[in-house]
Amino acid sequence: MNPKVGRKLSNHNVIKVNLQDRSYPITIGSALLSDDFNSDKWIQGKDCLIVTNETVAPLYLDVMKSNIDDKTIEVITIKDGEHYKTIDTWSKIIDKLTAMRANRDTTIIALGGGVLGDIAGFAAATFMRGLPFIQVPTTLLAQVDSSVGGKTGVNHKDGKNLIGSFYQPTMVISDIDVLSTLPDREYKCGLAEIIKYGAIYDVDFFAWLENNMSDLLIRAPKKLIYAISRSCQIKANIVGEDEFELGKRAILNFGHTFGHALENIMGYGELLHGEAVAIGMIIASKLSPINSVEHNRLISLIKSANLPHKIELNDKNQMLDVMKTDKKVKNKKLRFVLLRSLGEAFIEEDLSENEILDAINNPFS
């Protein structure tokens, strides 16, 4: 499909992340990367660096640049994929900033998916102790999750996102038109995160997803804008209460402890993040005190989104060893996000290894 950017600005939603002097808007709609939506006022200084990747640049770099007037624009294009979410890639962005003689008024614009946004955000957080940056997510997963909330970082060989910081953007621009070029497999990864929001926070939204998943799968614009907006509002509510994940924000990790372990074992990029989270949510739900009817509703919704719901591993016990290196471990105890019911999540750390292994090995029983 060809990108449909550059049309006149249509209806759009604005969600605010309330963090006092670090508050910022998330704008969600179509035709946002057209000249009708001017990004200039969000660029604080006289210059900016657009960080993009080899997949996104041919599609959206020119239209992004045309959206910026009266600024000096520099560009760095990095490799695409989870394999490149590394200190080495971060270092290349830092090298580019030094070469262009960036200062603390230089704005970084992250034009790409979640991996790129995390790396560019980490560069913004660390160069000269902090540069302003704008998130322009080009995948559904990034639009509903990673571009919002200020988590930035890179992977380490021993775990996902082990190196990073909390650092908020100045704005998020989510144009649904860019999703027209997103491959189905990557698009469905975003649906996994959308399902997560209903499961942990809003049972009515979960029911809406059950009734509208077929429309979301064909990327119906109005339904898509609503699903993204509701997901972002839920995340904004949670982040506004707990920016640094000291308490409630941890519920956003539902399915992620198991999911990150699966990604690590299989190799980053072999199992996509949303696919791993989908499987992880089923395992976490199995561990939960949720009733069997609701557990099966979650499984059914994940299946209806055409997401993987199980995976074969030679040694599932290996997942437990990998999870012990997860950054959510506290006082040497594994912490899991579980469900009391659909729409109500909580944190549990008093689980035996036998209980955890049983859920990994028997998630459907």
Q: How confident is the model over 82-123, as pLDDT tens digits?
A: 899 999 999 999 999 999 999 999 999 999 999 999 999 999
**Residues constituting the chain:** 365
Is residue 57 one of the residues assigned to a domain?
A: yes
Say whether both 337 and 227 belong to one domain.
yes
Residue 168 in any domain: the answer is: yes
Using the predicted structure, report yes or no on whether residue 3 has a pLDDT greater than 90.
Answer: no
Instruction: List the one residue out of 250, 254, 276, 253 whose CA is nearest residue 265.
Output: 276
Give how many domains the chain has, as a whole number. Answer: 2
Tens of pLDDT, residue by residue over 193-234, are 999 999 999 999 999 999 999 999 999 999 999 999 999 999
The verdict on 295 and 164 lying in the same domain is: no
Residue 2 has pLDDT above 60, yes or no: no
Q: Is 157 in the same domain as 77?
A: yes
In whole angstroms, give the CA distance from residue 123 to residue 132.
10
What is the spatial distance between Cα 257 and Cα 345, in angstroms, rounded to a whole number? 15
Residue 76's contacts (CB-CB under 8 Å, 6 or more residues apart) are 49, 50, 51, 52, 92, 93, 96
Residue 317 has pLDDT above 90, yes or no: no
CA distances from 294 to 113, 204, 212, 337 (A): 32, 13, 18, 16
pLDDT at 261 over 60: yes
Based on the domain organization, do 210 and 129 belong to the same domain? no
Percent of the chain with pLDDT over 70: 95
What domain range includes position 297?
Answer: 184-361
User: Which residues have CB under 8 Å from 83's CB, separation 6+?
Assistant: 268, 269
Distances (CA, A) of 269 to 196, 276, 365: 21, 10, 29
pLDDT value at position 332?
72
Shared domain check, 219 and 101: no
Residues 291, 241 within the same domain:
yes
Q: Residue 142 falls within a domain, yes or no?
A: yes
The two tokens of residue 161 are 């996102």
Does position 182 have pLDDT exceeding 80, yes or no? yes
Calpha distance 289→23 (Å, rounded): 36
- The pTM score is 0.94
Backbone angles phi, psi at 66, to 5 degrees: -70, -15
Residue 294 has pLDDT above 70, yes or no: yes
Confirm whether 7 is domain-assigned: no
Residue 83 CA to residue 80 CA, distance in Å, equals 8
**DSSP code, position 195:** H
The pLDDT value recorded for residue 101 is 98
Residue 9 predicted with pLDDT over 60: no
Same domain, 106 and 16: yes
Same domain, 318 and 280: yes
Residue 237 lies in a domain: yes
CATH label of the domain that carries residue 257 = 1.20.1090.10
Give the tens place of pLDDT for each residue, 170-179.
Answer: 999 999 999 9
What mean pLDDT, rounded, does the chain reach? 93
How do residues 40-96 score in pLDDT, each as one tens digit? 778 989 999 999 999 999 999 999 998 898 899 999 999 999 899 999 999 999 999
Whether residue 295 is contained in a domain is answered as yes
Supply the pLDDT for residue 44. 86
- Residue 96 and residue 223 in one domain: no
The answer to whether residues 363 and 310 touch, using CB atoms and an 8 Å cutoff, is yes
Q: Could you tell me the CATH number of the domain that includes residue 78?
A: 3.40.50.1970
What is the token pair recorded at 58?
């041919």
The reply to whether 127 and 166 lie within a common domain is yes
- Match 């580019």 to its residue by tokens: 96
Query: Do residue 171 and residue 212 come from a single domain?
Result: no
Tokens of 365: 């029983």
Residue 194, in any domain of the structure: yes
Which residue, 180, 210, 235, sits at the end of a domain?
A: 180
For residues 190 and 173, state if they share a domain. Answer: no
Instruction: Write out pLDDT tens, residues 324-355.
Output: 877 667 777 889 999 999 999 999 999 999 99
Tokens representing residue 188 in the block: 């469905």
Inform me whether the pLDDT recorded for 129 exceeds 90: yes
In this prediction, residue 184 carries a pLDDT of: 98
Alpha helix (H) residue ranges in the chain: 62-66, 87-99, 114-126, 140-141, 184-201, 203-217, 221-241, 256-266, 273-287, 292-304, 317-323, 353-361
**Which one of 180, 207, 227 terminates a domain?**
180
At 185 the pLDDT is: 97
Q: Tell me, what's the pLDDT at 7? A: 44
Three-state secondary structure of 211-275: HHHHHHHCCCHHHHHHHHHHHHHHHHHHHHHCCCCCCHHHHHHCCHHHHHHHHHHHCECCECHHH
One-letter amino acid identity for 137?
P
Report the run of H or E that residue 162 belongs to, with start and end: strand 159-166
In a domain, 6, yes or no: no
Poorest-confidence range of 5-9, 22-26, 273-277, 357-361? Answer: 5-9
- Catalytic residues, by residue number, are 129, 151, 193, 235, 245, 249, 253, 256, 260, 273
Confidence of residue 272 (pLDDT cuts 50, 70, 90): very high
Q: Is the pLDDT of residue 8 over 50?
A: no
Domain boundary among 163, 180, 197: 180
| pLDDT at residue 280, rounded to an integer | 97
